[in-house]
Each structure stands twice: as structure tokens, then as C-alpha cells.
Structure 1
Amino acid sequence: MAYVISDDCIACGTCIDECPVGAISEGDKYSINPDMCTECGTCADVCPSEAIHQG
């Protein structure tokens, strides 16, 4: 199941540089494209606010 970004997201940008497939989009709250997500978990590992989890 693809990862999702919760409302705890602080839009710091840390996850974007870590995503190997470019599935994360910027915004007030970042989002992950479920069709592109490979479920590697790298984004969740680097998120300082623990806002990313498997959906």
C-alpha cells in the first residue's frame, strides 16, 4: 500500500529529495502519488514530523 502524508506535514521538503521515483509533490501539505509510489519507505524514514505512513 502506498505511503501517504498526514496533516502533521510541515512542508519542510526533506522527503522530496529522498524519493527515488519523484512521487512526492509540493504544496501547503505535501502529497504522494500512489500510482508512482514504490513503497520503499525512504520518505517516512527521513520525515522529521513523522507525518508519512503507509495508507
Structure 2
Amino acid sequence: MKVEVDVPKCVASGQCAMIAPEAFDQRDEDGMVVLLDETPAPEVHEAVRESAMVCPAAAIHLAE
């Protein structure tokens, strides 16, 4: 799996960082998404998929 984020689309909801903290974080200054791991370990894939599904801005893109 490869993960990409479209930071300008991010609305800083924080769902991704709560669901998959191994792959996502938020910037302190504005809450925008920070991608920690663009190729997360297999055990994190389900959480990353869920993060992409619930992202209100559809800012997370996955390539399986």
C-alpha cells in the first residue's frame, strides 16, 4: 500500500490521526494532516483504509 495526502484539501478534522496514529499526525500550528509513513506496515492497512474512508475532505488517497 502507498498513501498520499492532499494537504490543501485537508480540513483538519483529525480523524486520520485518531484512527491510524502510526501513519498520520497533525501539524501543531493548524491541525493539517502530516503523513508519517507513505508505505505503512501491513498490520496498519485496515486503519489507514478506514482513515481514507472517513476523511471528510477526501484528502487521503491509497494505491493498493
So what's the TM-score if we normalise by structure 1?
0.70
What stretches of structure 1 of length at least 5 have no aligned partner?
Answer: none
Residues 35 and 47 of structure 1, relative CA distance in 2, 3 Å threshold: closer
Cα-to-partner distance string for 1:12-54 (whole Å, 9 max, x where unaligned): 11111111x5221111321222266247212101101111002
Q: 2:33 aligns with which of 25, 30, 33?
A: 30
With CA pairs under 8 Å and 6+ residues apart, which has the higher RCO, 1 or 2?
A: 1
Name 1:47's counterpart in structure 2: 55
**RMSD value over aligned CA atoms?**
2.3
Structure in which a larger fraction of residues adopt helix: 2
Whose Rg is larger?
2
**Unaligned runs of at least 5 residues, structure 2:** none
Task: Among all aligned residue pairs of Structure 1 and Structure 2, give the percentage whose two residues are the same amino acid.
Answer: 26
* Aligned positions, number: 54
Q: What TM-score does the superposition give when structure 2 sets the normalisation length?
A: 0.63
